[in-house]
């Protein structure tokens, strides 16, 4: 058989070139393996291009899409005086020059003689040939690998083939790293924002707590200290009233008004004092409370009012709760005494108390057959000094329900009001289960 020396040589050359290609690509992928940030990756690529392919320089541009600009991100060769620095980095608008065209069209180009290509932009110095390969990720150009050479016709199709493979390998690595960097930045920003907002919130809470404490101690001091001179005023007024017997009937009447006003003021101050004391109690005073026992006590405390109104207090089988005993008595005594007080004329008050278990809470329902509360006032009757009826028809200072709400909140419970089926009032109170 005749041995075709030429075709053997040709085949040998092809195989040699394939081997070189694979060797270069292999060393590229090994070299890029440990690089993580996008900056490390682009610098890594330019360094490898020079080392493996014997180019004079290699520059990577990345596209800033919003600005439509290609920015030099890495440059090995004369443009890289030391470490990761680029001497006079340039930016190229998309579509401008050879690099800009390649980025716009997504087509790689070899320029055999740059002196004959009007698009050529001189960067650091004029060189006679150029190769520019787009870096494409998911059909979008994200940058360009570019190299120039001082000789005409330097770049070959083999160079092009290798650079195209390098661009494909680099693209996903760059995008991956960029996404990670953006995510990191985003997470960092988010954490910073959360920290800042939390600290602002904490500051606000402590400011509020402080102003609350200040207000409470002011209310306490004011109501406590005002009681003393008021008591003196009341006792001297009563003394004068008793001693003085030549008052005209008109003056006597004025005097009675004055005493009545002073006594009412005393009652208001006492109510305010109770109100401001709610948060003073220690949490260790919280105990398991048998609510049936509590209502026996309340009924005894309100014995007179019950008899006077010929009322009935009907108590169901009540569940145990966890709470502060003094406050719980105050709470339900206020609700029951309201139910007795705000009764319909000629109708004996009947108050029913039930309880039911709701997960970790016990819900109490206190229902009466009294005058009821117009639903439009259901939300504001828990405010301090809110009263719906003239003082002459129903006595009171308008502190009772505000105190009840404060006690319930102190126990992390809830209180609300509704109408009973008989047109009376119905209070719902949730307290922690015992
Ligand atoms: N069971 C009820 N039936 C009808 N109205 C009620 C009832 N409970 C409360 N109210 C209305 O809500 C207002 C506020 O009640 P709250 O107990 O705070 O004040 P008060 O009873 O007038 O005064 P205090 O309890 O301080 O002596 C009352 O003035 C009354 O108008
Ligand atoms: Mg009341």
Domain locations in the chain as residue ranges: 5-186, 281-432
Fold of 5-186: Beta-Lactamase (3.30.450)
With H, G, I as helix, E, B as strand and everything else as coil, classify residue 393.
Answer: coil
Contact 333, 351 (CB under 8 A): no
How far out from the chain centre does Cα 56 lie?
55
Q: Looking at residue 29, what is its pLDDT?
A: 84
Q: Which residue has the higher pLDDT, 216 or 149?
A: 149
Query: 82, exposed or middle or buried, with CB in 10 Å at 0-12, 13-18, 19+?
Result: exposed
pLDDT above 80 for 84: no
Compute the C-alpha angle 201/203/206, nearest 5°: 110
CA–CA distance, 368 with 374 (Å, rounded to integer): 14
Among 273, 309, 335, 338, which is best to mutate for testing ligand 1, by the most ligand atoms less than 8 A from CB?
A: 338
Element (H, E) at 399: none
pLDDT above 90 for 143: yes
Q: Looking at residue 391, what is its pLDDT?
A: 78
Tell me what percent of the residues of the chain surpass a pLDDT of 90: 64
Q: What is the pLDDT of residues 232-282, one digit of tens each?
A: 999 999 898 888 888 888 998 998 899 999 998 998 898 888 888 887 655
Among 400, 405, 407, 429, which is best to mutate for testing ligand 1, by the most ligand atoms less than 8 A from CB?
A: 400
Q: Looking at residue 220, what is its pLDDT?
A: 83
Residue 314 contacts by C-beta under 8 Å, 6 or more apart in sequence?
350, 351, 352, 353
Q: What is the pLDDT of residues 194-242, one digit of tens each?
A: 999 999 999 999 999 888 888 888 888 888 888 899 999 999 998 988 8
Rounded mean pLDDT, 14-22 = 85
pLDDT above 70 for 81: no
Residue 365 Cα to ligand 1 middle (Å): 17
Which-ligand-closest: CA of 403? 1
Q: Long-range CB contacts (< 8 A, 24+ apart) of 150-154? A: 150/56, 152/112, 152/113, 152/128, 153/112, 153/113, 153/129, 154/128, 154/129
Confidence of residue 284 (pLDDT cuts 50, 70, 90): low
Contact 415, 404 (CB under 8 A): yes
Confidence of residue 96 (pLDDT cuts 50, 70, 90): very high
Beta sheet of 414-419, edge-to-edge order = 312-315, 350-358, 361-367, 425-432, 414-419
Residue 168 Cα to ligand 1 middle (Å): 80
Q: What's the pTM value of the predicted model, to 2 decimals?
A: 0.62
Residue length, the chain? 434
Q: List C-alpha distances in Å: 278 to 4, 238, 282, 331.
A: 109, 33, 10, 11
Q: What is the pLDDT of residues 295-338, one digit of tens each?
A: 999 999 999 999 999 999 999 999 999 999 999 999 999 999 99
Confidence of residue 91 (pLDDT cuts 50, 70, 90): very high
Residues with CB under 5 A from ligand 2 (ion): 338, 400
Q: Looking at residue 344, what is its pLDDT?
A: 94
Q: Which two tokens stand for residue 254?
A: 């004025």
pLDDT above 70 for 3: no
Which-ligand-closest: CA of 406? 1
Q: What is the dihedral of CA 341, 346, 347, 349, to 10 degrees?
A: 30
Q: Looking at residue 283, what is its pLDDT?
A: 52
Compute the C-alpha angle 282/287/292, nearest 5°: 130
With H, G, I as helix, E, B as strand and everything else as coil, classify residue 96.
Answer: coil
Rounded mean pLDDT, 151-167 = 95
Residue 378 contacts by C-beta under 8 Å, 6 or more apart in sequence?
416, 417, 418
CA–CA distance, 69 with 96 (Å, rounded to integer): 10
Contact 321, 433 (CB under 8 A): yes
Residue 258 Cα to ligand 1 middle (Å): 25
Residue 398 Cα to ligand 1 middle (Å): 6
Rounded mean pLDDT, 5-17 = 85
Rounded mean pLDDT, 108-128 = 92
Which-ligand-closest: CA of 425? 1
Q: Looking at residue 273, what is its pLDDT?
A: 86
How far out from the chain centre does Cα 373 lie?
38
Question: Residue 382 CA: which ligand 1 atom is closest?
Answer: 18
With H, G, I as helix, E, B as strand and everything else as coil, classify residue 224.
Answer: helix
Q: Looking at residue 313, what is its pLDDT?
A: 97
Q: What is the pLDDT of residues 56-76, one digit of tens each?
A: 999 999 999 999 999 999 998
CA–CA distance, 43 with 74 (Å, rounded to integer): 5
Ligand 1 atom 4: the closest Cα is on which residue? 372
pLDDT above 90 for 19: no
According to the CATH classification, is domain 281-432 in 3.30.1490.20? no
Residue 94 Cα to ligand 2 middle (Å): 79
Q: Looking at residue 262, what is its pLDDT?
A: 92
Confidence of residue 40 (pLDDT cuts 50, 70, 90): very high
Provide the 10 A C-beta neighbour count for residue 103.
29
pLDDT above 90 for 348: yes
Q: Go through 134-169 and write b for each residue having 16 or more CB atoms within 10 A of its CB, e for each that does not.
A: bbbbeeebbbbbbbbbeeeebbeeebbbbbbbbbeb
Among 265, 336, 342, which is best to mutate for testing ligand 1, by the most ligand atoms less than 8 A from CB?
A: 342
The pocket around ligand 1, CB under 6 angstroms, is made up of 271, 334, 338-339, 342, 368, 370-373, 381, 386-389, 396-402, 425
CA–CA distance, 312 with 351 (Å, rounded to integer): 6
How far out from the chain centre does Cα 208 lie?
19
pLDDT above 80 for 80: no
Ligand 1 atom 13: the closest Cα is on which residue? 387
Q: Which two tokens stand for residue 1?
A: 């058989």
CA–CA distance, 81 with 89 (Å, rounded to integer): 12
What DSSP state is assigned to residue 433?
B
Q: Looking at residue 138, what is its pLDDT?
A: 93
Q: Looking at residue 275, what is its pLDDT?
A: 86
């Amino acid at each position: 058989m005749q041995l075709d020396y030429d075709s053997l040589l040709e085949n040998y050359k092809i195989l040699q070139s394939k081997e070189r290609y694979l060797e270069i690509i292999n060393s590229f992928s090994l070299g890029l393996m440990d690089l993580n940030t996008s900056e490390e990756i682009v610098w890594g690529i330019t360094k490898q291009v020079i080392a493996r392919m014997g180019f004079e320089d290699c520059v990577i541009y990345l596209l800033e899409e919003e600005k439509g600009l290609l920015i030099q991100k890495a440059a090995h060769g004369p443009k890289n005086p030391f470490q990761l620095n680029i001497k006079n980095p340039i930016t190229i608008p998309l579509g401008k020059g050879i690099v800009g065209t390649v980025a716009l069209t997504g087509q790689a180009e070899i320029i055999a003689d740059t002196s004959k290509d009007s698009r050529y932009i001189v960067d650091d110095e004029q060189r006679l040939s150029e190769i520019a390969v787009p870096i494409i990720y998911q059909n979008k150009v994200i940058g360009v690998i570019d190299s120039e050479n001082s000789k005409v016709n330097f770049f070959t199709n083999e160079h092009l083939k290798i650079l195209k493979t390098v661009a494909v390998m680099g693209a996903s690595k760059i995008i991956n790293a960029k996404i990670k960097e953006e995510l990191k930045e985003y997470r960092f920003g988010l954490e910073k924002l959360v920290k800042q907002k939390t600290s602002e919130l904490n500051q606000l809470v402590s400011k509020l707590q402080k102003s609350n404490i200040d207000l409470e101690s002011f209310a306490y001091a004011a109501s406590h200290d005002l009681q003393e001179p008021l008591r003196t005023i009341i006792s001297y007024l009563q003394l004068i009233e008793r001693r003085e017997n030549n008052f005209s009937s008109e003056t006597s009447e004025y005097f009675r008004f004055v005493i009545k006003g002073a006594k009412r003021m005393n009652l208001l101050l006492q109510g305010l004092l109770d109100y401001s004391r709610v948060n003073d109690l220690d949490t260790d005073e919280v105990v398991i409370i048998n609510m049936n026992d509590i209502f026996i006590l309340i009924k005894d405390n309100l014995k007179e009012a019950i008899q006077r109104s010929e009322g009935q207090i009907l108590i169901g089988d009540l569940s145990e709760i966890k709470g502060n005993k003094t406050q719980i008595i105050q709470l339900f005594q206020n609700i029951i005494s309201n139910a007795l007080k705000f009764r319909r004329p000629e109708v004996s008050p009947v108050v029913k108390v039930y309880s039911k278990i709701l997960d970790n809470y016990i819900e109490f329902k206190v229902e009466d057959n009294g005058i009821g509360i117009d639903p439009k006032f259901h939300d504001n009757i828990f405010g301090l000094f809110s009263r719906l009826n003239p003082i002459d028809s129903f006595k009171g200072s308008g502190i009772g329900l505000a105190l009840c709400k404060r006690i319930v909140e102190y126990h992390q419970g809830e209180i609300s009001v509704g109408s009973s089926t008989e047109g009376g009032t119905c209070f719902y109170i949730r307290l922690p289960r015992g």
